[in-house]
Amino acid sequence: MKRIYIFDTTLRDGEQSPGVALNMGEKLQIARQLARLGADVIEAGFPIASEGDFQAVREIARQVKGPVIAGLARANKADIDRAWEALQEAEKPRIHTFIATSAIHMQHKLRMSSEEVLAAAEEAVRHAKSLCADVEFSAEDASRSDVDFLCRLFEKVIEAGANVINIPDTVGYAAPEEFGTFVSEIIANTPNIDQAVVSVHCHNDLGLAIANSLAAIKAGAQQIECTINGIGERAGNAALEELVMALYTRGDFYGTSTSIVTKEIYRTSTLVSRLTGMFVQANKAVVGKNAFTHESGIHQDGVLKERTTYEIMNPKLIGIETEAIVLGKHSGRHAFKQRMAELGYSLEERELDSAFFRFKALADRKKEITTADLLALMGEEREANAVSQLEYLQVSSGTRTVPTATLGLTINQELLEEAACGDGPVDAAFKAIEKITGAGGVLTNYQLEAISGGMDAQGAVIVTVEFNKKAITGYGVSPDIIEASVKAYINAYNRALETGAVTKPLPKAQEA
């Protein structure tokens, strides 16, 4: 079996999804899970893009061992130096530098001639190589670039020290057969190509990211760049879970293997969905809610007789539990700790105290605590230290009442209380929050989903709120959907504070 390297860019290209803003703790949590998943490379961010990006790449480089940690840099000295500053403490650092190579990008965006681009690429790789042994070079918008120019450029950057050359379909324009041929031509016509790993990076604008990546593998690509749940710029990137399971399930056809620990896929998908605030669509391949649900009687009958009649993958293989394991209010601390360990959380005493307290509080409101509930509970843990917290919530609504909400928030440890009326209880509660924070948030998206089955399922709410024209998502979970909505809004507000989209309100004592 030929080995395919999995380069995960959830924390860089994935984080470029509209509305997604992860803080450092969240990025670290995802990076650790990606290491557990067995990704070969984690692209941790774009260090020069912001101080937050720089710090996150540096912490991931320091703390996450196993995978190569990559940082993105444009093809210039300042970007590359900054990337290296963030990466140098990594066990296996990689500088990933790029420049656009299509006529359309060179002419309109870069305003550089092809010879200038070639010189800049060569110079960037040479400089990166003087700092770091592992250098990747990407030709942005490669799929719309002249193939002869690309071969010439790849030859030069390999000479300058690039270990990996990446062929992105930046705008998701390529068609699978065409892209496969394109990759073959590059491999055939770049004289020193055997000295580098050939990589592809496909976007999903036409829904072809996976098909294009697979065509590239057939043509000889050895590294695939992808993201969890396929998140990323616009329609996103090739989804890691789809790619890996296609290679696994059709090993007979592709003859390849990856290092991915498939039973970690579902947990990784859930974590990324929760932290980015991007729900996974129900019919999404591999990790969608319906991916292993059989609705028609004929299919159900077939699966009951023999699973493989209608299931090409065993859900257990990607870490989906088929038998429900539930805890309840009589479950003790030991059982809770053990179940959390099975789910990949090794909790220290203090973390255990706090998580167990929340678990008990939830068990008082909900009879059966499922795996989905436990994962959501751990998601809430990170909110425990956030600047603003919900203290209490009271709502009144009905068919003949004006919906009203009264709530208390602590901000800077100070309890602030407000009441407001609205079109419905959620609207009233959001207005009350806005009265307290004065942040001027505009709700642009609201989604509600049950995170597990049954009458007492918890509701998960994702909101997108625009603060000063910056879209920020928030996530909240509760057995009460109004409370889940309020938590989601507060979560978005906390993220807006962290990213500087809004400033903290002054404590009352300091107000004029």
Sites of contact with Zn ion (CB under 5 A): 13
CA distance 144 to 340: 48
Tokens for 279, please give them. Answer: 């729900």
Name the DSSP class of 13. T
Closest CB 125 distance from ligand KIV, rounded Å: 14
Kindly tell me which of 173 and 310 has the beta carbon lying closer to ligand KIV: 173
Closest CB 99 distance from Zn ion, rounded Å: 14
Kindly tell me which of 13 and 498 has the beta carbon lying closer to Zn ion: 13
Closest CB 134 distance from ligand KIV, rounded Å: 16
Kindly tell me which of 199 and 452 has the beta carbon lying closer to Zn ion: 199
Kindly tell me which of 221 and 481 has the beta carbon lying closer to Zn ion: 221
The interface partner of residue 138, options being Zn ion, ligand KIV, none and the CB cut-off 5 to 8 Å by kind, is ligand KIV
CA distance 96 to 43: 9
Tokens for 56, please give them. Answer: 């996150």
Kindly tell me which of 203 and 274 has the beta carbon lying closer to ligand KIV: 203
The interface partner of residue 8, options being Zn ion, ligand KIV, none and the CB cut-off 5 to 8 Å by kind, is none
Kindly tell me which of 243 and 372 has the beta carbon lying closer to ligand KIV: 243
Kindly tell me which of 13 and 40 has the beta carbon lying closer to Zn ion: 13
Closest CB 251 distance from Zn ion, rounded Å: 27
> Angle 275-276-280 (CA atoms, 0-180°, nearest 5)?
100
Query: Cβ contacts of residue 2 below 8 Å, gap of 6+?
Result: 222, 255, 256, 257
Closest CB 140 distance from ligand KIV, rounded Å: 4
| Other residues' Cβ atoms within 10 Å of the Cβ of residue 435 | 14
Tokens for 155, please give them. Answer: 């030859």
Tokens for 68, please give them. Answer: 């190569």
The pair phi, psi for residue 370, each rounded to 5°, is -90, 175
Tokens for 294, please give them. Answer: 């059989």
The interface partner of residue 98, options being ligand KIV, Zn ion, none and the CB cut-off 5 to 8 Å by kind, is ligand KIV
The interface partner of residue 140, options being ligand KIV, Zn ion, none and the CB cut-off 5 to 8 Å by kind, is ligand KIV
| Residue 399 to residues 8, 198, 296, 356, 424, Cα–Cα distance (Å) | 50, 63, 38, 39, 10
Kindly tell me which of 230 and 319 has the beta carbon lying closer to Zn ion: 230
Q: 200 forms bridges with which residues in the sheet? A: 167, 224
CA distance 168 to 164: 13
255: alpha, beta or left? (left if phi > 0; alpha if psi -120 to 50): left
Using CB atoms, what's the residue nearest to Zn ion?
A: 13
**Residues near ligand KIV, by CB under 6 A:** 13, 98, 138, 140, 166, 168, 170, 201, 203
Closest CB 12 distance from ligand KIV, rounded Å: 8
Give the three-state DSSP class for 165.
Answer: strand
Closest CB 148 distance from ligand KIV, rounded Å: 20
CA distance 193 to 175: 23
Closest CB 13 distance from ligand KIV, rounded Å: 5
CA distance 78 to 75: 9
